[in-house]
């Protein structure tokens, strides 16, 4: 049998800039120019009082147009982010370039690669996210999908915890994870939610074909809306008393079960 490749597949010309500590832009005009540029913006913090002015309304509209997450906050939060004169606006520049899952999956099929995708629902801890990205890169995951809102910020801490993995694995930030699951289902991927509510075990579920694993946060798990869209809900058999794993550890176990099954079949 021909051996399959499980190495990540990169789009032509795909590269990531190195992380920088200078990832904050403040002030009305600098942020306005940033939003006009082609730079990736992680998120925007805007003082609620600025929404009473046209400049604030324009900022919100620009974020919606570019699908940039924004958060309306009190001035005290902005003051905690930076002691400088921010004029009610703080933007975080992303150290990575986000990809689109609808572009990546067809590319994988065209190159004869069996897609291996990870979806993170409401995983907000930066270090957990960085550790997960590191494991994904080692396991040959082709992309990590995160929601536009309710995801860990990709900052210097995330880059450091990932041990550089975020420079090599595509991250897809999607507005609607439900639509993303619909797309993956239509593309022929098996959707597996790893949850303690599962009625199957990860180790008994065949995952040698195109597959997308869905992981949720330790606090909230996977949303019921997404659970209704998956093909399988799988759990880990556990012997201890705690009853749950750290999300980074759980993700690692699930990912390498896919690797084990695929290597066994090759």
Q: What pLDDT, in 10s, does the model give residues 133-192?
A: 999 999 999 999 999 888 998 988 899 999 999 999 999 999 999 999 999 999 999 999
- Give yes or no for a contact between 173 and 148, defined as CB atoms under 8 angstroms apart: yes
| Per-residue pLDDT band at 243 (split at 50, 70, 90) | low
61: Cβ–Cβ under 8 A, 6 or more apart, which residues?
none
Same fold, 24-93 and 101-265: no
Tell me the domain boundaries of the chain: 24-93, 101-265
Q: What pLDDT, in 10s, does the model give residues 62-117?
A: 999 988 999 999 999 999 999 999 999 999 999 999 999 999 999 999 999 999 99
pTM above 0.75, yes or no: yes
Beta strand 89-93 pairing with 190-194:
unpaired
- Give yes or no for a contact between 83 and 24, defined as CB atoms under 8 angstroms apart: no
- Cα separation, 187 vs 226, in Å, equals 17
**Which candidate, 26, 7, 220, 187, places its Cα nearest to that of 106?**
187
The class (CATH top level) of 101-265 is alpha beta
- Cα separation, 47 vs 77, in Å, equals 9
Give the C-alpha distances (Å, rounded to integers) separating 227 from 59, 181, 243. Answer: 35, 10, 20
CATH superfamily of 24-93: Ribosomal protein L30/S12 (3.30.1330.30)
Tokens of 8: 């990540």
């Amino acid at each position: 049998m021909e051996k399959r490749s499980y190495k990540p597949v990169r789009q032509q010309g795909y590269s990531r800039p190195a992380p920088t500590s200078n990832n904050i832009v403040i002030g009305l005009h600098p942020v306005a120019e940033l939003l006009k540029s082609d730079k990736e913006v992680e998120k925007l913090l805007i003082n609620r009082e600025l929404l009473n002015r046209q400049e604030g309304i324009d900022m919100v509209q620009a974020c919606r147009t570019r699908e940039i997450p924004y958060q309306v906050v009190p001035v005290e939060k902005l003051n905690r982010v930076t002691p400088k004169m921010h004029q009610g606006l703080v933007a975080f520049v992303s150290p990575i370039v986000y990809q689109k899952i609808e572009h990546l999956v067809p590319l994988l099929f065209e190159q004869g690669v069996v897609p291996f995708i990870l979806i993170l629902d409401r995983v907000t801890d930066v270090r957990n996210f960085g550790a997960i990205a590191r494991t994904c890169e080692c396991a040959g995951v082709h992309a990590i999908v995160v929601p536009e809102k309710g995801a860990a910020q990709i900052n210097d801490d995330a880059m450091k915890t990932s041990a550089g993995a975020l420079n090599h694995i595509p991250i897809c930030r999607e507005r609607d994870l439900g639509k993303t699951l619909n797309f993956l289902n239509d593309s022929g991927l098996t959707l597996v939610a790893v949850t303690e509510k599962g009625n199957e075990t990860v180790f008994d579920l065949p995952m040698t074909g195109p597959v997308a694993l869905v992981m949720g946060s330790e606090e909230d798990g996977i949303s019921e809306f997404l659970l209704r869209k998956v093909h399988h809900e799988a759990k880990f058999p556990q012997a201890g008393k705690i009853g749950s794993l750290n999300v980074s550890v759980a993700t690692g176990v699930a990912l390498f079960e896919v690797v084990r099954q695929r290597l066994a079949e090759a």
